[in-house]
Amino acid sequence: MEKSQSHIVIFPLPLQGHIKPLLCLAELLCDAGLHVTFVNTRHNHNRLADLPALSAHFPTLHFESILDGLPDDHPRTLSSELLIALKTSIKPHFKELLQPSLKPNGCALPPPTCIITYGLATFAFDVAEELGLPILSYNVACAPYLWTCLCLPNLIEQGQLPFPDDNMDVEITGVPGMEGLLQRVDLPGFCRTQKRDLALILDTINELDAPCLSHMANMFPKIYTLGPLHSLLHSQIGDVSRSLASHGGLWKVDPNCMIWLDSQPTKSVLYVSFGTLVTLTRTQIIEFWYGLVNSGHPFLWVVQSEITLGLDGDQIPMELEIGTKEKGYIVNWVSQEEVLSHKSMGGFLTHSGWNSTLESIVAGIPMICWPNLWDHYIISRTFSEKWKVDFRLKENCDRKDIETMIRMLMEFKRGEIQSSMDAISKVARDSVAKGGSSNHNLEMLIQDIRYMHARPE
Ligand code: UDP
């Protein structure tokens, strides 16, 4: 067998159905003399009993493990927590692992040649890009299923989707290579609803998303855009003190932050919150903190205690403590709608969560965005490029970038961004007022639901 300089790093999603086939692939590659580093989460690594035996059979098969940052008793099923762990906890360790290193037995491994992983492990694609390494995407689904999914747009164009009736045994044509095989019942579950029943409720504003919505109308004959829902609720019930939705949160509100806001000048405060799912590393917290303090603008920062884990009091630089005492207020949880509509509010540094974005638009507060997960990137792209109501920070921003962006928002470009925000905020408020699109769609939805109830079986 030829001694190889090729070294493949394999990362399966931490699930049984991913580990097994990729371990098979790893052994096949090692059997051909290639080096493979198989990376598991520490939790799964400790559960795989035969690792020492495998290593003896395949001397070029190496195992590494990474902490996933989840609590010991976490069930570790495919969940948003697991996907978030991939990005926040696993990514930095994975990157570190790809640096050339000596094995514990002293033998040097060739530097990584490429990565093999599942398409959902987007962090690995980022790392590959950063290190200039080729990456091969492994897909657990069978090829006909993947191909059928890729052909769904053709089926919509051909009028085969949505199904015009409830007969599930009708043959599906239009998936080349699957002729004579495929029936309606075999398509992914979300295809099963019949045309007349396909309705979609969205927390968005018709006028903002019209270009996408007009295409989506081919798939969903009924689309009820009811956004911004929180504002529609206010316009319908008037007295917001009656609304649990506006006040009810999963954490306890700190009432003192409103007293602090009352003491700040009009439009002077930057509100900072990255929502409830994004977690920051210690370095990121420190960089944001310096950016805020160095900008010289007052700030109200929601820092959930979970994200400060590992940040001991004695690790906080003195100038940050002093700067925060002078100009800032750090809080565990606020009533965000109330904060955003306070007269002292000047800007919002956000992760571009959809709820936060809509709340900021309704309140007319321009944003700085630091997108982090899922739809945050597209939300931030639309609102920075198309509507020009946010400035976007790059993912690896440092204290200087953050300070500059805050000054842009609160000082140099204030007028420009505020007038774009005023325009879009008016669109949002008009949509929920009597005669507006969301207001009208709510009436339609209620009417259609009443009709469903009244419809004979
Ligand atoms: N929120 C709040 N108080 C806080 C921080 C957040 O009420 O201190 C609310 C905020 O108003 C929004 C929600 O939490 O309605 C966050 O939703 P979003 O979609 O913006 O982000 P996610 O947490 O889902 O990432």
The model's pLDDT over 244-283, given as tens digits with 9 standing for 90+, comes to 666 656 788 888 999 999 999 999 999 999 988 887 888 8
- Phi-psi group of 300: left, alpha or beta (phi > 0 → left; psi -120 to 50 → alpha; rest → beta): beta
What phi and psi, each to the nearest 5 degrees, are found at residue 350? Answer: -130, 165
Q: Which pTM does this prediction carry?
A: 0.71
121 burial via Cβ count (<10 Å: 0-12, 13-18, 19+): buried
Range(s) for CATH 3.40.50.2000 in the chain?
A: 3-248+430-451, 256-429
pLDDT exceeds 80 at position 84: no
162 prior amide bond cis, ω within 30: yes
Q: Kindly indicate the confidence band of residue 213, based on its pLDDT and cuts at 50, 70 and 90.
A: confident
The 10s digit of each residue's pLDDT in 109-158 is 888 988 999 877 888 888 998 898 888 888 777 777 888 888 888 898 88
CB–CB of 356/273 below 8 Å?
yes
Lowest mean pLDDT among 85-94, 196-205, 304-313: 304-313
The CATH number of 256-429 is 3.40.50.2000
Average confidence (pLDDT) over 175-201: 79
Which residues does ligand 1 sit against, CB inside 6 Å? 249, 273, 275-277, 302, 333-336, 353-356, 359
What spacing in Å lies between the alpha carbon of 240 and ligand 1's midpoint? Answer: 18
- Cα 36 to its chain centre, rounded Å, is 31
> Which of 244, 301, 355 best tests ligand 1's pocket when mutated (most atoms within 8 Å of CB)?
355
Dihedral of CA 273/274/276/279: which sign?
A: negative
For residue 191, give every residue at least 6 positions away whose Cβ sits within 8 Å of its Cβ, in sequence order, or none. Answer: 152, 161, 162, 163, 184
We find that the CATH architecture of domain 3-248+430-451 is: 3-Layer(aba) Sandwich (3.40)
Distance 200 CA to ligand 1 centre (A): 23
